[in-house]
Amino acid sequence: MPEPIIMKTCPKCNTQKTTSEFYRNKSKTDGLSGWCKTCHSSTCHTYQKTQHYLAYRRRARQSPARKAVRIAYEHRPDVMERRRKQALKAYYKYPLKAKAKKSVYTAIAQGLLSPLQLTECVICGARPDDYHHWNGYEKAHRLDVIPMCVRCHKAIHRRDGHQQYQNCLDSLTHLC
């Protein structure tokens, strides 16, 4: 015998809905959540965009316990093997890019390029995250690089940021 359909009113949206449209909650007398699934989801999504929640998540990610978990995960043999395979796949897919990156790291080790910690982004002045190969990855241009932060680097590769980057690059060409 099928269960009878019981209706419940959601106090947030003031609509009557079937019990299947409410999450289960054993702590409630009727065994159902107070709000319907739709209202509950919209409230959660709204809260997760607030500065209070974002600050909480940032603090949680930076806690020593969370860092220890992340380091333990990154050193697991299966994770290390997966990353190694991804790196090999990227190397075979973009060999010029991989060789150019290796040339930059070698130049830093030999003292031909400044380490990123001692430089700043050429566009915004922030701490750079990587060198940008502004003249391509060919052998003759492997060390034609400029330090850039992630935000500016992504912006120059987007269509809307390309013109802004081109103007900045034109002013920097006399330095290279």
Confidence of residue 171 (pLDDT cuts 50, 70, 90): low
Same domain, residue pair 43 and 98: no
Apex 123 CA angle, 121 and 127, nearest 5: 20
Residue 42 belongs to domain spanning: 7-61
Same domain, residue pair 85 and 44: no
Whether 67 maps to a domain, the answer reads: no
Number of domains forming the structure of the chain: 2
Distance CA 2, CA 20 (A): 14
Whether 2 maps to a domain, the answer reads: no
96-132: per-residue pLDDT in tens? 999 999 999 999 999 999 998 899 988 888 889 888 8
Same domain, residue pair 116 and 156: yes
* DSSP 8-state symbol, 175: T
Same domain, residue pair 86 and 49: no
Whether 154 maps to a domain, the answer reads: yes
24-73: per-residue pLDDT in tens? 999 999 899 999 999 999 999 999 999 999 999 989 888 999 999 999 99
Share of the chain above pLDDT 70, in %: 87
